[in-house]
Structure 1
């Protein structure tokens, strides 16, 4: 069936998939006749979209109807559900219906079940958690292959640390590296990549390390550098939450008497057990209670930023509070 449902928080990856779908379906000369998008603010957007997708195409190519940021998979009135059930099975082969949403579809809803039944593609575009470094490196290698840039394992790791889960920034940096090497047989080396690639996630990890050791002055300096580099506050918080979550799980499992790196890695959702030794050293001087006490502060920080609080002010305040928690009874002092 020519029905596509895309959802997830990785906007850039979703945009690339939508662009590929448009290129495959639409004839450039007839796009203005055969391409229609409906925003959720438009009245009866779903009904109008379903009616449009049943309209015969004009000229060459197919028809594409896009229901943008639709709530169809989260709330579906009975009249819309009835129209959906009537239309989905009979959409013409050369008409394509695309639905996108950031939030995960509610699989309990009849509308979601209908879409899953008839959709030819039901795809998620998730953001990789910042602490899952192995998945980030894998994503870097996949993107490099798509762009046409050859990377060594070390350079792939540097890129993963630099861009984190920001897919848009990843492709931007890879394009920069591709242009740098264009027309030249000169291979990329670590020094060149370090100079060319904007590194913010690594600094966020350095911020986590400074907080962990209770070094308030260093933490505030790193934070200022991140803000001056236009690093979004929520991305900084995401890295902090990921790091403290990992540290907490490792510490809890260690306190339970577990010594097997594979078992600790499994409990902490860490793909590479070789990281466990280093994580154990990082949490050596912190207690479980200290790490637990940091999580509500990070949650408060995330909520404040999402509610529109002054970014620099609230980040500075919470970083100071986090450093104080980590410094209490710590052997770092």
Structure 2
């Protein structure tokens, strides 16, 4: 049986997989990124379990399933979850897999404040929390679109207090945005010896993709500010280009730009994107990649 799950919200995808496993009286699954291995497991009868489950984590470009084999996989009693960030439903393979698309689990775009506010209100109501304006405002800017961390953090807060103070909230849900600023500073000042210890500390309360997403936002703003300044745009135009709400922030960004060129910022942003891709589809040492970025 084929179940296609798409999107980049890995937490919701995992929850859906666990829900389906429970419905089928299964407690575990095997995971692979190899198409042939997943195909073999789905079509092979287990000697131990009557039904097995396999999760195939695959990138869109590597999803090259033979359309003639789809019917065989669907007839199997074993479960085959195909997890892919996205797929093109217009292709022959896309059309063949479309009937098995269970749901799309896509995170809101970076800094979509309206959607983040809705999520805060939704989870607060779910856990019976009475959040003050200052706590909501902090959460709105602290986590970007890291909904898994938001949900788990609010769930922990609810166990401690149903009307948490700002101080308690900051202790339980540290600001990923703030950590990215610290990492950006380390990279700009080439303090590579501090990165490994700092990343280990960050990973205690957030995931690697969230760290990179926030770091990407910081360096994108810096790069766009540099591009706008090089074209002699006025402050309002630069702020609009870099999506900065308060143009006064440009004063501090320009101070940072005195130590790095546009070309170097473009290189750094590409390194961040490459690292995000490697973490999504392969194994990658985040600390090592960040230390490499200090060599701009």
| TM tier, smaller | 0.5 to 0.7
The answer to whether 1:172 aligns with 2:152 is yes
Separation of aligned partners in 2, 1:9 and 1:133: 16
Q: Aligned ranges for residues 1-333 of structure 1 at < 5 Å?
A: 5-20=4-19, 26=23, 31=25, 45=38, 68-69=55-56, 74-81=63-70, 83=72, 99-116=81-98, 118-119=99-100, 121-126=102-107, 128-129=109-110, 132=111, 134=113, 136-181=116-161, 187-208=163-184, 210=185, 215=189, 223=195, 226-231=198-203, 235-253=210-228, 255-256=230-231, 265=240, 267-268=241-242, 270=243, 275-285=245-255, 286=257, 290-300=261-271, 306=278, 312=287, 315-316=290-291, 318-319=293-294, 321=295
Aligned length, in residue pairs: 280
Separation of aligned partners in 1, 2:85 and 2:171: 37
Across the aligned residues of Structure 1 and Structure 2, the Cα RMSD in angstroms comes to: 4.8
| CA positional deviation for 1:101 | 1.1
Decide whether the 8 Å contact of 2:42 with 2:53 is kept in 1. yes
| CA positional deviation for 1:315 | 3.3
1:78-129 deviation line (CA, Å, top 9, x unaligned): 4314657xx69xx9xxx9977441432243532222333x357441334754
TM-score by length of 2: 0.67
Q: Which protein is bigger by CA-based radius of gyration?
A: 1
- Deviates further, 3-12 or 296-305: 296-305
Separation of aligned partners in 1, 2:248 and 2:19: 42
Query: Structure 1: any 5+ residue segments left out of the alignment?
Result: 53-63, 323-333
Query: Structure 2: any 5+ residue segments left out of the alignment?
Result: 46-50
| CA positional deviation for 1:153 | 4.2
Separation of aligned partners in 2, 1:47 and 1:244: 44
Q: Which residue of 2 aligns with 1:327?
A: none
1:109-150 deviation line (CA, Å, top 9, x unaligned): 32222333x357441334754xx2625555444433443333
1:202-250 deviation line (CA, Å, top 9, x unaligned): 2222332x359x5556x965x4662341536665444322211123224
Q: Relative to 1, partners in 2 of residues 1:123 and 1:160: Cα closer, same or farther, differing over 3 Å?
A: same
| CA positional deviation for 1:6 | 1.7
Separation of aligned partners in 1, 2:286 and 2:262: 24
